[in-house]
Amino acid sequence: MTTSRTDRSDGDLVAAAAAGDRDAFAALYQRHHLGVYRFARTMTGSTAAAEDVTQEVFLAFMQGLDKFEEGRGALSTYLFGFARNVSRHRLRKEIRLVGQDNERESELQDPDDDPGQMAIRLESAARVRRYIRGLSSRYREVLILCDLQELSYQDAATVLGTRVGTVRSRLHRARHLLAERLISSGVQRSADKRGLRWAI
Amino acid sequence: MGHLEEKKRMFPADGLQAALKAVREDDALAQPRPQLRERVMRAWDTRQHHRRTSRASTFWFAAAASVAVVLTWSSSRLDRATGNAVADRAMALSTEDDGLLAPDVLMDDASSFQYVRLSLAPRTMAALGIPVANPADEEPIAVEALIGLDGIPRAIRYAQFRQESQ
């Protein structure tokens, strides 16, 4: 009985792809592209940039297929490491884009905004995403990895090339900063009206 | 204590987690365009094509290099053997009385000669200036000649090979 591609481990598929198996690489892409894309989308704040990052990640991956060692960690962790580096590199090059995001954020922080309107905004994940994007890279990436991609602290530490303790402390700080931003933008007032309260 | 700190003190649980959950749910709906997969797989195909081409080029280059090395080596051995033989012949011819040696034969590079054995009509021998007993005879005469690369014979003499083979 043959093993279907969906049943095969990442290591098997990587080995097959390294030997030139197109279907194996396509299966790897299918299995991991969404995680990479979603990570990049939250990091960059742009779907177009996220697609570019995803493409760059898989191009880099295909060029170094033989460098992946299954024993050293999961492939998803390995690819998140690529995605993190590519996203950071891209963000450094696109300061203008970040500047525009900050402008939009400052609009949200207008204290004269109608509380009803703010409540509507509260329900929008896009708004929360914008606050996340307003965090510095070191906090944003740990928040995305642990709270959105739901990686373990250990895997996040592998992606970030740091210790688990550092991940914990950065994550704590990131959550704290995000809550502060949500509060200072007036979310708290609206949330209270709707019976929601924010916590760190 | 600031206004923000006051607010943080009064927070109960799970508000932040609710916000993050909203983002996760939004993420779950996010899909890149199908063109992204096409672009990646096209890059894969291009890369594989280059790898195959590169491998084939490397193979053929290595094969061509091997053939060139073998040919050079063989040619070198052949040239050395031929050159030595021709030089020996030329030296021998120059010392023999029964042959005709062009004056400049030893001025040329020995490797530029071809040593050949021919059968010539007596009248042809006579035309070349070689003394023949009966130029009208029909019986061909075996001769040895040194032919230059331009096709002009540089030296000619009566064949010695029958004696050598004995």
Contact A78, A10 (CB under 8 A): no
Q: Which residue of B has its CA nearest to A55?
A: B40
CATH code of residue A164:
1.10.10.10
A138 & A64 share domain: no
A113 & A198 share domain: yes
Which of the listed residues A73, A93, A113 is the one where a domain comes to its end?
A: A93
A109 & A197 share domain: yes
SS3 of B116, please?
strand
CATH code of residue A78:
1.10.1740.10
- What's the CA gap between A61 and B92, in Å, rounded? 74
Interface test with A, best of B6, B8, B50 (most A CBs within 10 A): B8
- Contact status of A48 with chain B (Cβ, < 8 Å): no
Span between the terminal Cα atoms of chain A, in Å = 52
> A197 vs B20: CB contact, 8 Å cut-off?
no
Model's pTM, two decimal places?
0.58
| A140 assigned to some structural domain | yes
Contact A49, A60 (CB under 8 A): no
Point out the residue among B26, B37, B45 whose CB comes nearest to the CB of A29: B37
B9 vs B26, residue with greater confidence = B26
Q: Say which range, B1-15, B27-41, B45-59, B67-81, has the weakest mean pLDDT.
A: B1-15
Which of the listed residues A39, A69, A93 is the one where a domain comes to its end?
A: A93
Q: How many domains does chain A have?
A: 2
- What's the CA gap between A44 and A96, in Å, rounded? 12
Predicted local confidence at residue A124, as pLDDT = 65
Contact A42, A144 (CB under 8 A): yes
A104 & A183 share domain: yes
pLDDT in tens, chain A (200 residues): 445 666 788 889 999 999 989 999 999 999 999 999 999 998 888 889 999 999 999 999 998 888 888 778 889 999 999 999 999 888 887 755 444 444 334 333 444 455 454 444 445 677 788 888 889 989 999 999 999 988 999 999 999 999 999 999 999 999 989 888 887 776 544 555 554 444 44
Q: Could you list the residue range(s) of the whole structural domain that residue A60 is in?
A: 8-93
| A2 assigned to some structural domain | no
A124 & A83 share domain: no
A14 & A48 share domain: yes
ipTM of the complex: 0.70
| A13 assigned to some structural domain | yes
Residues of chain B in contact with residue A148, where contact means CB-CB under 8 angstroms, are 20, 23-24, 27
| A3 assigned to some structural domain | no
Which of the listed residues A93, A109, A138 is the one where a domain comes to its end?
A: A93
